[in-house]
Amino acid sequence: MKSENANNTIATIDHNNIPEGWKKVKLGEGVDIGSSKRIFYKEYVNKGIPFYRSKEIIEKYIGKNISTGLFITEEKFNEIKEKFGAPKKGDLLLTSVGTLGIPYVVNQYDKFYFKDGNLTWFKNFNKNLYNIFLYYWILSPIGRNELEMSSIGSTQAALTIKGLKNLEIHLPSLSEQKAIASVLSSIDDKIDLLHRQNKTLEAMAETLFRQRFVPARAGEPHAGGEEAQEDWGEGKLGKVIGISSGKGLKKKEYVENGSYPVLGANGEIGRTDKCLFDEKLIFTGRVGTLGKIFISTGKVWLSDNTLIIKPKEDYFYFVYFLLKNVKLEEYNVGSTQPLIRQSDIKEIEILLPKKEQLYNFEAEADLFFKKMQNNQLQIRILEQLRDALLPNLMSGEVRMKV
């Protein structure tokens, strides 16, 4: 769940105005708060049980694939688990250094250990506090503000176990906590389902592309067959695309709740009230992160670390999937940091199918992407609903009947 755009008008706890039926408690009265057993660098191995830091929890939070390079052996994990315990279903982990206040609720399939100091461990929730309610409280404007005020450190912010234990929170009854969490969870579940549907729809469109236009490897079947490629034209990618660079924004032009997203090589990097493009286009990283291919369909600003690619004819999805399959990261020419040049992309050699084949593919792919766009619209609506409800439910301004 992401709720950076939640309403910030209610951002502090008024301890003199506790909602009826709620009570003021210290966070440590509702849950055990601690950290992990320290692991030394010499105990890391190349593969085994994954070892998480803040980075991996943030990746889980935003739905990215975990990219940890740290592991401990199964034997070491079992030894720690027997002596000190390990994260189990229902426990909550909280990023506590640097990027503060990103929560993660452990699920039944998780098997990992984590670094002490980077993450705080909430376990053994009692009848005063429901773990999913705490998860959403942390994400609310109230929770974010309370965590920020309780942090320490001048050069790098950090949350301490002692500070978290003494953090005061207003809690409704356990049944109302569960009702609040249920409403918010149901919205997030719908959002997650739509995201997963979109991944499936794009995978189906890419499978269609590969069946039609990607030559088979030795011993593999190919839907189009070798004969289908005999009269394809040979050329370079620059023949069918136009390409340009994005533009930089001044720091003052970034706006926290701006009207339009600012997109970079990894996706959205901020918001602004300025619009650079308002059309369907393809973009990818020019410098820094290479190889990720994105589609933009609305009003956006594309940063100067991106390349904007516009198919010259109605070959949009053909070009999109072609770029995903040519591994642009292999065209890196940077010495100090990854860099790809427009000229090198234009020179990529391609086979260009007959127009009839391309038009048929575009029409079929368009059906998949229109469904994805409808899903994305529903996602935005649900996110706005969740972000509007979150501060009001957590402050008691909106009450749940139980």
Mean pLDDT of 36-65: 84
SS3 label, residue 98:
coil
**pLDDT-above-90 percentage for the chain:** 65
pLDDT of residue 335: 83
In this predicted model, what pLDDT tens digit does every residue of 367-376 receive, in sequence order?
999 999 999 9
Cα dihedral 19/25/29/30 (nearest 10): 20
pLDDT of residue 215: 72
What confidence tier does 177 reach under pLDDT thresholds 50, 70, 90? very high
pLDDT of residue 11: 59
Q: For the stretch 339-371, what's the b/e string if a residue is b when 16 or more beta carbons lie within 10 angstroms of its beta carbon?
A: bbebeebeebebebbeeebbeebbeebeebbee
Pick from 330, 335, 276: nearest CA to 308: 276
What confidence tier does 145 reach under pLDDT thresholds 50, 70, 90? very high
Mean pLDDT of 248-277: 91
* Distance between CA atoms of residues 277 and 301, nearest Å: 6
Cα dihedral 214/217/218/219 (nearest 10): -90
More confident residue, 31 or 230: 31
Supply 332's token pair. 């890196």
pLDDT of residue 65: 74
SS3 label, residue 310:
strand
* Distance between CA atoms of residues 334 and 9, nearest Å: 45
Q: Is 87 exposed, middle or buried (0-12, 13-18, 19+ CB in 10 A)?
A: buried
SS3 label, residue 178:
helix
Q: Which residues contact 87 (CB under 8 A, 6 or more apart)?
A: 93, 106, 110, 112, 113, 114, 121, 123
Considering the chain, what is the average pLDDT of its residues? Answer: 89
6 pLDDT higher than 60 = no
What confidence tier does 309 reach under pLDDT thresholds 50, 70, 90? very high
Residue 72, beta-bridge partner list: 49
* Distance between CA atoms of residues 274 and 260, nearest Å: 7
pLDDT of residue 257: 82
In this predicted model, what pLDDT tens digit does every residue of 291-304 receive, in sequence order?
899 999 889 999 99
225 pLDDT higher than 50 = no
SS3 label, residue 356:
helix
Asked which of 10-14, 62-66, 166-170, 392-396 is least confident by mean pLDDT, the reply is 10-14
Residue type for position 64: K
221 pLDDT higher than 50 = no
* Distance between CA atoms of residues 204 and 196, nearest Å: 12
* Domain covering 233-352 assigned CATH 3.30.300.30 in the classification: no
pLDDT of residue 168: 94
What confidence tier does 175 reach under pLDDT thresholds 50, 70, 90? very high
Contact 317, 341 (CB under 8 A): no
pLDDT of residue 216: 59
Q: How far, rounded to the nearest angstrom, does the alpha carbon of residue 25 sit from its chain's CA centroid?
A: 33
Q: CA quadruple 286, 289, 291, 295: dihedral positive or negative?
A: negative
Residue 215 has a CB neighbour count (10 Å cut-off) of 11
β 49-52/113-114 pair status: parallel
Q: Which residues contact 84 (CB under 8 A, 6 or more apart)?
A: 36, 37
**This prediction's pTM:** 0.83
pLDDT of residue 8: 42
More confident residue, 222 or 152: 152
In this predicted model, what pLDDT tens digit does every residue of 74-133 receive, in sequence order?
999 999 899 889 999 999 999 999 888 999 999 999 999 988 888 999 999 999 999 999
pLDDT of residue 156: 85
Residue 169, beta-bridge partner list: 25
pLDDT of residue 3: 47
Ramachandran bin of 6, using left for φ above 0, alpha for ψ from -120 to 50, beta for the remaining angles: beta
Q: Where in the chain is the domain with CATH 3.90.220.20?
A: 23-172, 233-352
199 pLDDT higher than 60 = yes
CATH homologous superfamily, domain 23-172: DNA methylase specificity domains (3.90.220.20)
Residue 252 has a CB neighbour count (10 Å cut-off) of 6
**pLDDT-above-70 percentage for the chain:** 93
- Torsion angles phi and psi, residue 193, rounded to 5: -60, -45
258 pLDDT higher than 80 = yes
| DSSP letter assigned to residue 41 | G
